[in-house]
Amino acid sequence: MNSIPELTERTNSLVLSYVGIRRAIGVSGLLLPVMLGPVGWLFFGVEIQDSMSAYYHTAMRDVFVGTLCAMGIFLFCYRGYDRIENWTANVGCFSALGLALFPLDFNSDPLFQRSITGYLHSLSGGVFFSTFAFYSLFHFPSSTPEKQEIAPHERERNFVYRSSGTVILLSMSAMGAYVLLLSAEQKSFLNGYNFLFWMEWIAVWAFAAAWLTKGRTIVAEIAVDLMAIPMDLLLKHDKNRS
């Protein structure tokens, strides 16, 4: 007779642990660019770099490597609703560890590296962002009954997930155009404005928004509630008219 309550308690604990992992990934993504950029500049005298990867060669190396390793571990521990989602988490884990353990060559173009480790870093970066875009566009939205979770404003949450995935893909497209299409002079011009760094910041915050929403964090819950107000008012108005 006591087996059912015990099983329910264990299931709830398991769900809470996965929610905690989602929040940890989201918070890590939210803090990473802030710690590298503004905090590194204000407190450690590190100028804004051309890309987040370039921080490996600065005093902020430990922050860069440590955060990515933590995200890799979180992804390895995360389990989804099916085998495909589990494999996606594993791919994200290894790409995060690849970014952390295979540094980009110092003062180099991401497309033209001087070492194998540099090329592995560039490859890991593409896979890393692609993984999070895949999560936002395909795994997180409640497209099937099996993936539906008890949470208010499901429509708004799905909008956040899909918007996050779209922003990641747009940022990746901009970075891809920079790497593949621009001349050395054009890249040098954009480097003066830290173009890659800001594109990476946008992409990282986009996936952070999706994971924080999926993790039901307070800030994300408030944002979702605010997004739902116009639609709720519209539905209430239509109901009163009818």
Is 67 in contact with 28 (CB distance < 8 Å)?
A: yes
∠ Cα 161 215 134 (to 5°): 35
Q: What is the pTM of this model?
A: 0.89
The pLDDT tens digits for 79-135 are 888 899 999 999 999 999 999 999 999 999 988 999 999 999 999 999 999 999 999
Q: Please count the other Cβ atoms lying within 10 Å of the Cβ belonging to residue 136.
A: 27
| Cα 47 from Cα 55, distance rounded (Å) | 10
Name the amino acid, one letter, at 76.
Answer: F
Nearest to 210, CA basis, from 37, 63, 48, 23 = 23
How many CA atoms lie within 13 Å of 46's alpha carbon, on the beta-carbon side? 22
- Tell me: the pLDDT tens digits for 65-74? 999 999 999 9
pLDDT in tens, the chain (242 residues): 444 454 344 444 445 578 899 999 999 999 999 999 999 999 999 999 999 999 999 999 999 999 999 999 999 999 888 899 999 999 999 999 999 999 999 999 988 999 999 999 999 999 999 999 999 999 999 766 666 677 788 889 999 999 999 999 999 999 999 999 999 999 999 999 999 999 999 999 999 999 999 999 999 999 999 988 887 676 665 566 65
Whole-number Å distance between alpha carbons of 140 and 91: 16
CA distance 179 to 194: 13
- Residues pairing with 109 in the sheet: 112
Cα gap 32→187, rounded to integer Å:
24
Q: What is the rounded distance in angstroms from the CA atom of residue 22 to the CA atom of residue 24?
A: 5
CB–CB of 22/215 below 8 Å? yes
The parent domain of residue 225 ranges over 3-241
Torsions phi, psi for 105 (to 5 deg): -60, 145
Number of H helices, E strands in the chain: 9, 0
- C-alpha distances out from residue 170 to 62, 125, 135, Å: 29, 15, 15
Tokens representing 170? 């747009």
- For 180, phi then psi, to 5°, come to -95, -30
Q: How many domains does the chain contain in total?
A: 1
